[in-house]
Structure 1
Amino acid sequence: MFVYRTITRYNDTGSIKKRHGGGHPTTATSSEMVRKVKARIERNPRQSTVKLAKSLNVSARSIGRILKNKLQLKPYKLQKVQDLTLAQKATRLERAKNLKHLHVGGMLENLVFSDEKIFTVQQDVKKQNDRVWLKCKSNDNLDQRIALRKHAPASVMLTSRFH
């Protein structure tokens, strides 16, 4: 069979090199689908691949291939950061300096530690599941990679103290 195919290929093309274009044609990763995915990701880079796949009626695996292979995007984890004002940052720096001076001067002998658990009403960010699709990490796209937390959201605190 190999010899037959080689002779047939030579008679048809004048060469024994393999013809290109064999195999199953691409459907889900076509250039039209790549354009659709690119437009949707540019509109909302935090959209999950599963939701994107359902809205475009393709498999999540195909969407993942398009994002990684065709568009060269990577899924980055969202970073939780405290939403501090400039005054709050200055206050924190001053308090840290005061604590350092007290420690150096030996004034912190009777220090009390406590275990605390705060339950807050705030946007729930699951670092394992929530991703944002971007080309690279940079300061230009920092606002897309962070999830802000407010200084004083509604919350309940439970404490236990020990010396």
Structure 2
Amino acid sequence: MVVLSGCLCKGKRPRRPRVLEEQVARICAAFERSPWKSTNRASRELAIPQSTVWHVLTVRLHLKPYRLQLIQALTNDDKRKRMEFCNSMLEMMGRRNLHFTFNFSDEATFHLSGTVSHYYVHIWGTEHPHETVEHERDSPKVNVFCAVSQDKV
């Protein structure tokens, strides 16, 4: 009888391939030019996996993604319009049980200029840039509203 001893797991383990300095430099240059760029977009443009781009930004370059603060400029007439809306809603609720009329509602806004939501926009940097994005009010857009009540859609 022959008894063999040993372990198949000894030896070199397969490792994650190292990121070349050339790739780090390319990623750094891409985000210096455009710190708003997403890691997915940079991955496509540089032909480098998205996980590598994320790893280089966070571990090697010590950058963090900072979300922008959206602000909306208010006019002097806005307070009056809000008060009118609140008063008209109170009046409608007094006439009938409005709170039982709507069970679910949702609204979406589509800007004709092609503007999209800035909710998922980040700036990559070493410190918080305290940037704000001014929201353009009253631009041409289409609002889609749907309400589902007990009686109908």
| TM tier, smaller | 0.5 to 0.7
| Residues 2-13 of structure 1 aligned to structure 2 (within 5 Å) | none
Q: Which residue in 1 is equivalent to 2:42?
A: 52
More helix by share: 1
Per-residue deviation, 1:81: 1.8
Which of structures 1 and 2 has the bigger CA Rg?
1
Per-residue deviation, 1:156: 4.6
In structure 2, the CA distance between the partners of 1:116 and 1:134, relative to structure 1 (3 Å rule), is: same
Q: 1:152 pairs with 123, 138, 143, which one?
A: 138
In structure 2, the CA distance between the partners of 1:112 and 1:76, relative to structure 1 (3 Å rule), is: same
* Partner Cα separation in structure 1 for residue 135 and residue 25 of structure 2: 34
Q: Which residue in 1 is equivalent to 2:125?
A: 134
RMSD: 3.7
Question: Which residue identity lines up with residue 132 of structure 1 in the other structure?
Answer: I
TM-score of the two chains, using structure 1 as the length reference: 0.53
Q: Which residue in 1 is equivalent to 2:29?
A: 39
Where 2:116 maps in the other structure, the secondary structure is coil
Where 1:112 maps in the other structure, the secondary structure is helix
1:113-147 CA distances to partner (integer Å, 9 max, x unpaired)? 289957351511252x43221212144xx1xxx33
* Partner Cα separation in structure 1 for residue 66 and residue 17 of structure 2: 28
Which sections of structure 2, spanning at least 5 residues, go unmatched?
Answer: 1-12, 93-104, 148-153
Q: 1:124 pairs with 116, 119, 132, which one?
A: 116
Q: 1:111 pairs with 80, 87, 112, which one?
A: 87
In structure 2, the CA distance between the partners of 1:70 and 1:92, relative to structure 1 (3 Å rule), is: farther
**Percentage of matched positions with identical amino acids:** 18
Tell me, yes or no, if structure 1 residue 62 matches structure 2 residue 52. yes
Which sections of structure 1, spanning at least 5 residues, go unmatched?
Answer: 1-21, 100-107
* Partner Cα separation in structure 1 for residue 49 and residue 106 of structure 2: 44
